[in-house]
Structure 1
């Protein structure tokens, strides 16, 4: 080997080890950076004219387990989905209250029951009649508060859908732009690892909102498809459309055009069912909360409200009521109509004729809602009948509950029990999804950057650098010696 060849080999060795040290230090510095993948310098022997000329850098490789990355993204999406569902169902349970809490629907029913029983024993007591009116008002207020909480959650979900659609559109545009930059940089032979890291971080954000499959393309390009096969990015980025509303009421739904669905490139897509392209992430969970879970919870509240209204609207119960007149509880002051059950829990009111705060008279609780003059103060027959009707086991007319016969107290217990059971089931699924995500994240971390191994590799690089430097020093001494001999 000539001195020139030896010099070239040593210089290439120094350049290669210097680049290895640079990449290794970047690995250590970014060990905890989201989206960063371990880099490794690829080397090969440099051959010129059939003889070795040192070493050349082929490129920089990112160490990514694509299968594990895809599984972690799916687990991340599922975790976000289950978190949102569990949080909503916990909110519903809190709105209805558990049986041991004073403000729960069951406790309000029990208070109304006790007030009717006490008033029937002392019908002449205005204080006890006032307690009946107060506990009845508290019961309808509890239903209204629970309705308000559910509709507030629907409105919040609608706003969050709009926010997530905006973030999704922006992220898709950014990934497309990175695809363009990667194509240009790769063709110029530049290191594209940082661009790949940024793209992976953006795809992680997209995958949390909508589960996606990443498909590699030529020249470091990628395409993104939903789990249902809808293209979100394949050359060009898809545009998702959604229109938020300011207020959500129980009657509003996609079917009635009150609430917006979602479109991809102008084409409407299902937001529920096996054909939906958005299920499995936070976006699908928000649609499920707005259009399914909250609607179901509201329907059960409305069924309870209907049963309450119909129990006390029977003309056979109160002889002073004319056929078709509103009973003790009204639909915003009017008789309840079965066709208007949706949202009834938020509209149910105590009949103004028995409410002193609205110009009514308490004696009508004792003498009949249609009574025009006060009757005998000691007649507690109607109050006793109201108490009996409250506890009567009667068939349900609403589809909000399973068919059967129940008292109002047992119906309240079923309502609360169902909310608790749904919350517990959702939390169980949330725990499983969280454990799966944690396991895959830990496994991904184990396959990531091991700082101990990186530091051991650095020692090897240091020795290689010192050896090449020593070769250069020896060659320099040889050249100096030759120049001295030539003088």
Structure 2
């Protein structure tokens, strides 16, 4: 081997170890950078005329376990989906309140029953009649508040869907631009790994909104597909469409067209958590708006209908005229079974019994349709109202088993249904979070190990020193030849 060949070999070695030192330095400095993938320098033997001609730098590659990364992204999406479902159900459960808690739904029904019993023992007492009115107004107000909370959750979900769709479209466009830039960098022979890191971070953002699968294409390009089968990026990014509404009321549904669904490139797609764009935060928002909240509202409406029906029967208050509402009304009117949706938000205390609305307390004793106060010692109606509240009857609507129950029992069933759904959501969330944690730990295990990088740096130093000594030896030989 000639001196010039040896010198060229040593110089190529110095270049390679210098580049490797840069790679190691980048790994160590970005050990805690989110989305950063460990780099490795690719080297191969270089030959010239069948003889060794040093080392060639083939490029820098990112070390990524794509299968593990894909599984971790799916786990992330499932975890945030379950968390949003649990948060909604926990919030509603807290607003309904547990039996025995002051101000809970069960407590307000029990309070109304207790005040009716107390008033029946002293029907002439204005104070006790006023307590009945206050308890009834409090019960109606609590159901109104629950409805407001449920519909506010739907409005928040609708706004969230709009924001997530906007973020999704913007992020897909950014990923598409990075694809183009990475291709340009590769074509010109430059390092594009930093752009790939940024693309990975953006894909992680998309994966939280909609679970996706990343598919590698030629020349370091990628395509994105949802787990439901929708194409988000294949050459060009998809355009997700959604039209938010300003106000959501109980009667507004996706099926009626009052609420917007999702579209992909102008084509409608199933807009449910189990649809092509479901599974992440977007699917959870759709579930809250169109499934979970309407289900809770339906149960509240069924309970409200049962309460209204208990008091508007002529067998309870014989003074009621046909079509006249009882103690509770639908926004002042009698119950219309065909207009049950949102009834819990419209439930009102009959103004005839409320002095604050121009009514009279004596109507609780004499009857809502009575012409005068009657006998101040007559407790028959108050007793009948109390019995109506505690009587066992089969609900006219709602997803309840067909068995008779008191008003308190029906309220307990509503709470039980929400609590059961919340427990199921929590169970799913616990599993999802545990799976997410395990996959995240495995994914991080493929990241930068600073101890290993320091060891690699020692090898780089030794290789550099060896190549430098070869160059020094060649220089000494040349100097000796020149001096001959």
Normalised by the length of structure 1, the TM-score is 0.98
Does residue 306 of structure 1 match 2:305? yes
The equivalent residue for 2:384 is: 385
Does residue 28 of structure 1 match 2:28? yes
Does residue 292 of structure 1 match 2:287? no
Q: Please, which moves more after superposition, 174-183 or 285-294?
A: 174-183
* SS of equivalent to 1:286: helix
Does residue 362 of structure 1 match 2:377? no
Structure 1 position 481, deviation (Å): 2.1
Q: CA RMSD for the aligned pairs?
A: 1.0
The equivalent residue for 2:352 is: 353
The equivalent residue for 1:142 is: 142
The equivalent residue for 2:334 is: 335
Structure 1 position 400, deviation (Å): 3.6
The equivalent residue for 1:265 is: 265
* SS of equivalent to 1:112: helix
Q: Deviations over 1:404-450 (max 9, x none)?
A: 21100111111112222211111111111000000000011112221
The equivalent residue for 2:19 is: 19
| 1:41–1:61 Cα contact (<8 Å) kept | yes
Does residue 103 of structure 1 match 2:87? no
Find the aligned partners of 2:179 and 2:135 in 1 and give their Cα distance. 65
| 2:273–2:279 Cα contact (<8 Å) kept | no
Does residue 283 of structure 1 match 2:282? yes
The equivalent residue for 1:6 is: 6
Q: Deviations over 1:90-118 (max 9, x none)?
A: 01101111113101100000100100000
The equivalent residue for 2:78 is: 78
The equivalent residue for 1:57 is: 57
Q: Deviations over 1:245-282 (max 9, x none)?
A: 111111111112211111000011112275x1012111
Structure 1 position 22, deviation (Å): 0.5
Find the aligned partners of 2:246 and 2:100 in 1 and give their Cα distance. 36
Find the aligned partners of 1:393 and 1:342 in 2 and give their Cα distance. 24
| 1:333–1:352 Cα contact (<8 Å) kept | yes
* SS of equivalent to 1:131: helix
* SS of equivalent to 1:316: coil
Find the aligned partners of 1:414 and 1:229 in 2 and give their Cα distance. 39
In structure 1, list runs of 5 or more residues that go unmatched. none
In structure 2, list runs of 5 or more residues that go unmatched. none
* SS of equivalent to 2:252: coil
Q: Please, which moves more after superposition, 21-30 or 344-353?
A: 21-30
The equivalent residue for 2:209 is: 209
| 2:312–2:327 Cα contact (<8 Å) kept | yes
Find the aligned partners of 1:316 and 1:411 in 2 and give their Cα distance. 21
Find the aligned partners of 1:273 and 1:292 in 2 and give their Cα distance. 9
| 1:183–1:219 Cα contact (<8 Å) kept | yes
* SS of equivalent to 1:378: coil
Q: Please, which moves more after superposition, 302-311 or 466-475?
A: 466-475
Find the aligned partners of 1:233 and 1:61 in 2 and give their Cα distance. 24
Find the aligned partners of 2:226 and 2:351 in 1 and give their Cα distance. 55
Poorly superposed stretches of 4+, deviation over 6 Å: none
| 2:38–2:448 Cα contact (<8 Å) kept | yes
The equivalent residue for 2:157 is: 157
Find the aligned partners of 1:100 and 1:200 in 2 and give their Cα distance. 51
Find the aligned partners of 1:65 and 1:42 in 2 and give their Cα distance. 17
The equivalent residue for 1:235 is: 235
The equivalent residue for 1:472 is: 471
| 1:302–1:400 Cα contact (<8 Å) kept | no
**1:38-49 mapped onto 2 (5 Å cutoff):** 38-49=38-49
| 2:35–2:198 Cα contact (<8 Å) kept | yes
Find the aligned partners of 2:326 and 2:131 in 1 and give their Cα distance. 18
The equivalent residue for 1:460 is: 459
The equivalent residue for 1:433 is: 432
Find the aligned partners of 1:245 and 1:6 in 2 and give their Cα distance. 75
